[in-house]
Amino acid sequence: MILCVLICPSAMVIAQQQYAIHSGDNVTLTVNEFGRGKPVILLAGGPGFNAAYLEPVWKSLPGFRFIIPDQRGTGHSSISRIDSVTMRIDQYVEDLDVLRKHLKLKKMVLTGHSWGGMLALAYAAKYPGNVDRLLLLGSGGISRDFFTYFNSNIKMRLREEDLAEAKNAKNLAANLSAIWPGYFFNRQSAIATKKLVDTNLADHNAGKINNLTLLDYKRTGQSRVASLSKFRGPVYIIQGRQDPVGESTVYETKRIIPQTKIFFIEKCGHLPWLEDDVSAARFYELIRIALK
């Protein structure tokens, strides 16, 4: 299962500010900051990829201070032990709370793309009082239900040549490249941007991180649903109408968290900023609305 997608041409993005914090289980976590203004925590998808692919997003939204952690095991946040203990959802959540305390923020604005949205939801489930608002960008669901159709939604869009490439893929990055068109509404846009998938961001640990983390997310779904049904903070969903995450996922979130506001972008898949100029413009407009 791969929830995150675009990887920039260069995996090395130079931050305006970079520093390290330390998790409760002694993992050194690298944090990058870009821009000035209202602080916004920006969580990348994956799990197992670093946040470089979100560079167009923070560059296109001046007036905000984007704080982007390299999640455990990704980017510069290396981890020596990758197993069912270190890749638990609760560990990711505690990492975020360490960041909140470091930033001296009473409440955080959490913005997450794909898996990053799921992590934001998990944090809000445990620490609702520490969340100013949630902005979910093509996020996976609160429960495990969307896992039953997410991969099918991607596969149905693939052609024979894509499926053949995926069958021969040797690692997570190669598989991601093969199924890339399944994330888009416009196949031409997918083909034009496919070269942006950079295998340097999916090292040999990415597949293991992905599998272990999502397994624990499925396992903890019931308690997360119960907790988020009591969450009262603002929630905004921005999602392409043809995102393989599916409209069912959006409406599940709305059912569990009734105050959720939903914004669809028509003729658009999982990566609005790459789909076309119209989708990108609408995407950035909606983010500004949600953040302000």
pLDDT digits (tens, 9 = 90+) for 89-98: 999 999 999 9
Q: What is the structure's pLDDT at 173?
A: 80
Q: What is the structure's pLDDT at 11?
A: 42
Q: How confident is the model at residue 102 (pLDDT cuts 50, 70, 90)?
A: very high
Q: State the Cα–Cα distance between residues 239 and 242, nearest whole angstrom.
A: 8
The residue among 207 and 241 whose pLDDT is bigger is 241
Q: State the Cα–Cα distance between residues 14 and 154, nearest whole angstrom.
A: 33
Average pLDDT over the chain, rounded to an integer: 91
Q: 14-18, 78-82, 150-154: which has the highest mean pLDDT?
A: 150-154
Q: How confident is the model at residue 145 (pLDDT cuts 50, 70, 90)?
A: very high
The amino acid at 247: E
Inform me whether the pLDDT recorded for 8 exceeds 70. Answer: no
> Regarding beta strands 28-34 and 17-22, do their DSSP bridges make them parallel or antiparallel, or are they unpaired?
antiparallel
How many percent of the chain have pLDDT more than 70?
92
Lookup: tokens for 145: 């239900």
Q: Please calculate the CA angle 101-18-52 and round it to the nearest 5 degrees.
A: 105
What is the reported pTM?
Answer: 0.93
- Count the alpha carbons within 13 Å of 3 in the hemisphere toward its beta carbon: 31
CATH for 18-271+279-291? Answer: 3.40.50.1820
**Cβ pair 105, 184 in contact under 8 A:** no
Q: State the Cα–Cα distance between residues 83 and 154, nearest whole angstrom.
A: 28
User: In terms of Cα–Cα distance, which of 201, 180, 194 is closest to 44?
Assistant: 201
User: In terms of Cα–Cα distance, which of 158, 177, 289 is closest to 236?
Assistant: 289
Burial of 244 (0-12, 13-18, 19+ CB in 10 A): buried
Which of the residue ranges 108-122, 151-165, 196-210, 224-238 would you say has the lowest mean pLDDT? 196-210
For the segment 127-141, the average pLDDT, to the nearest whole number, is 98
Q: What is the structure's pLDDT at 201?
A: 58
Q: How confident is the model at residue 14 (pLDDT cuts 50, 70, 90)?
A: low
For the segment 28-32, the average pLDDT, to the nearest whole number, is 95
Q: How confident is the model at residue 1 (pLDDT cuts 50, 70, 90)?
A: very low
Tens digits of per-residue pLDDT, 159-213? Answer: 999 999 999 988 888 888 899 999 999 999 999 988 777 655 556 688 899 999 9
Q: What is the structure's pLDDT at 51?
A: 87
Inform me whether the pLDDT recorded for 116 exceeds 90. Answer: yes
Domain ranges of the chain: 18-271+279-291
For the segment 259-273, the average pLDDT, to the nearest whole number, is 97
The amino acid at 59: K
For the segment 70-74, the average pLDDT, to the nearest whole number, is 93
